[in-house]
Structure 1
Amino acid sequence: MSEEQKRLLESKLWGIANILRGKISADDYRDYILGFIFYKYLSERQYLYANNLLETETVKDYLNLTDPELLEAIKEESLQALGYFLKPEELFASITAKGNASTETDSNYILEDLKAVLNHIEQSTMGTDSEEDFNDLFSDIDLSSNKIGRTVKARNEVVVQILNHLDSIDFRLEDIESDVLGDAYEFLIGKFAAGAGKTAGEFYTPQQVSKILAKVVTTGKDKLKSVYDPTCGSGSLLLRVAKEAEVSEYFGQEMTRTTYNLARMNMILHGIHYRRFNIAHEDTLMHPQHLDYKFEAVVANPPFSAHWKGDEHSLFHADERFSQYGRLAPKTKADFAFMQHMLYQLADNGIMASVFPHGVLFRGAAEGQIRQYMIKEMNVLDAVIGLPANIFYGTSIPTCIVVLKKCREQDDNVVFIDASGEGNYIKVGNQNELREEDVDKIVQTYRERKTIDKYSYVASLAEIAENDYNLNIPRYVDTFEEEAPVDLDTTAAEIQQLDAALKSNDAVLKAFCEELGIKAPF
């Protein structure tokens, strides 16, 4: 599929959202549209897979298949290969057709049928390896909710309208690469995030920031055994890493149920087999689900300065993630708790890159002690990258990327990059946005570890110690612009000229006043 066709697909999908504006709130129709796109994808994938199995049979179109033995055989094969199963009458095309069958004898009421189908997709996986990946996957699609209509008829009309618009879009799964539809899906997630206000950060990281993180953690590698995101949102960061290197396994954890569902859908829509991803639904700091693993790449955009309850659960004494540092991150600022967690799960040959608020660079007390321990005792800090303000949806605060490595090749210095100044980004609407050349400059500077005037500085560990382990970027990257020297003789001559002009104007004004017979104002 060409780039033009891909953009057309994105435009068509976003067009459905625009049709529903005014009928359903943005947060609500996001869940329905993304959920129904996923249902259509699962249906078309099932249809194509079943038709391939039917090539040597009398009935070659799965929609027309009624033989129970063949259906059972296709079910067994589908559960192994796809991780789920849909009967012919449960396919997206079948349900949509019923939604258009309004006659005197046939009703177009499909809400109960659709609810049963979505439940059956989840139930079909029970007792199989894919059960966890499909469990409650459609729980956010409430077909009885007043949010999509006050009456049953109104709700049915909205759902039929969505399905009809989706039915007019050919996903062309047999012709396109798996990433094309997945990328269009992420395009929609990004568009929804742009209008979601403060909640956007819960499920989406701007594409260019994701690109920086992905390029940093894949430095020097074209293959990764595993990638991990402890606050994975919609999974976009995990999938972005796969565009930079071949990834064998994906791991993530997400606390918000709706976003957890979105992440699993996003994985499957990108063609990631259910055996290759493990997304968990829990609070990462309090109930980590992957502590037995070490990961070759760790990326994250944790919630900024979130509250947590580490001190209430004696984690300091019992949890190896935190106990060696001597202090716990404050309960009102979990930034360092997330950083410690990610470092604990990082493999010896891995790289961690995560977004944080600037406070992690200079705040004192417990955070200062943890920061000093990481630098002085563990020597894991590899780079600090300052980003422009107002680059994330839902917050305008300036942010930074902290890069950690357990086994650093350059273990006697740290790279500081200040990409926050004018000329390092553009303004798009109300947001600041990094361009491709801005991303490339950041990544190249990190990889080459070079000092660039007013942009980057390679600081020795001794310099950082002299600054009491304060990592505030202006301490290392001098962006001060000197003003041009003032020529006093020229300035004096200009003042004299202004004074002469002023006296001339006064004389003219005085003459006018005398002519008019009034007193001059001076």
Structure 2
Amino acid sequence: MSEDHKKTLQSQLWNIANTLRGKMGADEFRDYILGFIFYKYLSERMHLFADEILKNDGLSFDDLDETTAEGTEILAAIQQESVERLGYFLKPSELFHKIAEKGARKTDNFILEDLTAILKHIEASTMGHDSEDDFEGLFEDLDLGSSKLGKTESQKNELISKVLSYLDKIDFRLADTEADVLGDAYEYLIGQFASGAGKKAGEFYTPQEVSTILAKIVTTGKTKLKSVYDPTCGSGSLLLRVAKEVEDVGHFYGQEMNPTTYNLARMNMILHGVHYQRFDLKNEDTLEHPAPEHADLRFEAIVANPPFSAQWSASAIHENDDRFSAYGRLAPSSKADFAFVQHMVHHLDSGATMACVLPHGVLFRGGAEGHIRKYLIEDCNYLDAVIGLPANIFYGTGIPTCILVLKKQRENPDDILFMDASQGFEKDGNQNYLRPAHIERIVSTYRKRESLEKFSQVAQRSEVAGNDYNLNIPRYVDTFDEEAKVDLDEVAGKLVALEKEMGETEKAIAGFCAELGIKAPF
């Protein structure tokens, strides 16, 4: 699949999304357009799957008559296999292009009730099956009765029909199993929505450049992963990014507190071709009420971009929680950063790697955070690397951030790698971006574990202990640029010459003023 086709598809989908832009906020029209794209994807996938089953009988799924006994019998057989293999079922009359065609008619074109029923039926088709949890409530954010779509039912119907008609003209090319063009386009849209969502973007999206760094770090030396976990998975993009760095990921796990974002993550997984049996995402508060199904699991790779310095209860009840009890202190209620780290460390398997993005404060703040930091370094010896990133690379916040890399069985137990990558970026408007060369330098330095002048330093653990476990990067990486020496004799000479030149200029001006019969200005 050509790069040109991918860019064309991205442009087409973004233009369709903008049909809704004037009606509602970015986060709201995001939910509609991504939901409709997902419905079209499920429909086309169902269509391809059913046609393959019917091929030997010379039948087409589109042409099956749902009202006859024969048609009903064939559909029942297809439904059983579809729910088992795909996780859901759609009848021929419920396919996306059938609804889009009805909405495009001049008359008898009201589709809102049909569309609402179809979206509910997709979910209902999974009930009692293994895929039920993965499809439950997926379309609950598509409120087709919302006044934001129009004042009257006719106006709402006209707008939705227009969007579906535009989408119907786009070929997702799902038969091309070698490419993930639609998945890439979906990721592109999520990124576009994040860039316009301001502070809310941090709730669901990690910039791809940062995701790439995290993914490359946790897959270092691996071609396959048994499992990957993100305790604050947002739209699921970070989990999917990890999958691009290896040949295969056995299972994806994640938790997301926001219901709307949780729905988006499940859609993202399915749309990228991750079978429902290979992902296990939960709509839970990771710190306060972690998913009980994940309690005893340990993961081969963990990646995360937790909400920076979020509040949490820090309740005394957590002092007996296995995730926190060994440390003797809880992260402060006003800053949950280390609570997320403790949660991830608890779920990290032996020989596994975790990489998470955090605010710089975790490197040097004292109190409970200093105590936890010391425990992780001195008692556990889990901290493998600290990487400082540029400021203003996240949507919605301009603060500088860092990446902490932790392992339970470190190959280099006597040292910690520090990296100052804060100056490696390209500015575009108000946003800073990491380019491929910046990413490559960070990842290469981590993998080679190099000390590079003014960029990285492999520091002994004894040095970190000597700094009272303060991880502030300038303590270890010297980025100071000595200012050029000033030759005072040369400067003095220039001042004398300048004064002489000014005196000559003043004489010339005085002469001109005398000729004009006016007073000189000095």
* TM-score, length of structure 1 as denominator length: 0.96
* One-letter code aligned to 2:277: R
Superposed displacement of residue 477, structure 1: 1.1
The answer to whether structure 1 residue 386 and structure 2 residue 388 are counterparts is yes
Out of 488-497 and 351-360, give the one that drifted further: 488-497
Asked if structure 2 preserves the Cα contact closer than 8 Å seen for 1:65 and 1:71, the reply is no
Is the partner of 1:390 in helix, strand or coil? coil
Partner of 1:94, secondary structure, is helix
1:320-469 to 2 correspondences below 5 Å: 320-421=322-423, 424-469=424-469
Give secondary structure in 2 for the equivalent of 1:310.
coil
Q: Does 1:502 find its partner at 2:502? A: yes
- Give the equivalent residue in structure 2 for 1:236: 237
CA distances 1:248-281 after superposition (whole Å, capped 9, x unpaired): 1000000001100000000000000000000000
Corresponding residue for residue 185 of structure 1: 186
Counterpart in the other structure of 1:25: 25
Return the offset for 1:56.
2.2
- The correspondence for 2:76, drawn from 66, 72, 88, is 72
494-503 or 181-190, larger mean C-alpha shift: 494-503
Secondary structure of 1:352 counterpart: strand
Would the alpha carbon gap of residues 518 and 214 (structure 1) be closer, same or farther in structure 2, given more than 3 Å must change? same
Partner of residue 199, structure 1 = 200
Q: 1:93 to 1:505 in 2, by over 3 A?
A: same
Aligned to 1:353, the other structure's residue is in SS state strand
CA offset at residue 516 of structure 1? 4.8
Say whether 1:97 aligns with 2:101.
yes
1:461-515 Cα shifts (integer Å, max 9, x gaps): 1111111111111111111111111123322221121121122123223334444
The question of whether the paired residues in 1 share the 8 Å contact of 2:386 and 2:404 is answered with yes
Matched, 1:268 2:270: yes
In 2, Cα distance between equivalents of 1:211 and 1:131: 32
2:437 and 2:102 mapped to 1: Cα distance? 51
- Counterpart Cα distance in 2 of 1:20 and 1:79: 33
Cα distance per residue 1:23-66 (max 9 Å; x no partner):
33322211110000000000000011001111122533434343
Secondary structure at the counterpart of residue 241 of structure 1 = helix
Cα distance in 1 between the residues matched to 2:414 and 2:63: 65
What whole-Å deviation, never above 9, does each CA across 1:357-415 have from its counterpart, x for those lacking one?
00000101110110011111111110011111000001111111110011100011111
Residue type of the alignment partner of 2:50: A
**1:33 & 1:63 partners in 2: Cα distance?**
28
Give the distance between the partners of 2:26 and 2:147, measured in 1 at CA.
Answer: 15
User: 1:83-127 deviations in whole A, cap 9, x for unaligned?
Assistant: 000011111111112212333xxx211111100000000011001
Distance 2:63 2:447 in 1: 54
Q: In the alignment, residue 187 of structure 1 is paired with which amino acid?
A: Y
CA contact (8 A) 1:375 1:381 kept: yes
Are the counterparts in 2 of residues 178 and 270 from structure 1 also a CA contact under 8 Å?
no
Paired residues, what number? 515
Tell me, in whole angstroms, the C-alpha distance in 1 between the residues paired with 2:91 and 2:84: 16
TM-score, normalising length from structure 2? 0.96
- Give 1:291 shift: 1.6
| Distance in 2 separating the partners of 1:44 and 1:448 | 45
Deviating more after overlay: 352-361 vs 507-516: 507-516
1:296 is the counterpart of 2:296: no
* One-letter amino acid of the counterpart of residue 317, structure 2: S
CA contact (8 A) 1:35 1:138 kept: yes
Q: Give the aligned partner of residue 174 of structure 1.
A: 175
After TM superposition, give the deviation of residue 177 of structure 1 in Å.
Answer: 3.2
Q: Give the corresponding residue for 2:223.
A: 222
Alignment check: 8 A CA contact 2:51 2:59 kept: no
Q: Which residue of 1 aligns with 2:491?
A: 491
Task: Give the aligned partner of residue 252 of structure 2.
Answer: 250
Of stretches 23-32 and 265-274 in structure 1, the one that deviates more from structure 2 is: 23-32
Structure 1 residue 10: Cα displacement: 0.9
In the alignment, the residues of structure 2 paired with residue 297 and residue 403 of structure 1 have an alpha-carbon distance, to the nearest angstrom, of: 11
Identify the residue that residue 46 of structure 1 maps to in structure 2: 46
- CA separation in 2, counterparts of 1:61 and 1:33? 26
Give the partner amino acid of 1:324.
A
Amino acid at match of 1:315: H
Q: In the alignment, is residue 306 of structure 1 matched against residue 310 of structure 2?
A: yes
In 1, distance between residues paired with 2:175 and 2:518? 92
1-side partners of 2:3 and 2:65: how far apart? 37
Corresponding letter in the other structure for 1:17: A
Would you say the 8 A contact 1:302–1:335 is kept in 2? yes
Distance in 2, matches of 1:169 and 1:513, equals: 78
Are the equivalent residues in 2 in contact too, given 1:50–1:62 (CA < 8 A)?
A: no
Q: For residues 516 and 97 of structure 1, what CA distance do their matches in structure 2 show?
A: 87
CA positional deviation for 1:19 = 2.8
CA distance in 1, matches of 2:279, 2:508: 85
Tell me if structure 2 keeps the 8 A contact 1:178–1:269: no
Alpha-carbon separation, structure 1, partners of 2:60 and 2:510: 104
Amino acid at match of 1:53: I
Q: Which amino acid aligns with 1:326?
A: G
State which drifts further: 148-157 or 72-81.
148-157
Greater shift after overlay, 433-442 or 92-101? 92-101
- Residue 229 of structure 2 contacts residue 239 of structure 2 at CA under 8 Å; is this kept in 1? yes
Tell me the secondary structure at the aligned position of residue 443 of structure 2: helix
Identity of aligned residues (%): 62
Residue 99 of structure 1 aligns with an amino acid whose one-letter code is: G
User: What is the alpha-carbon root mean square deviation over aligned residues?
Assistant: 1.3
Equivalent residue letter for 1:462:
S
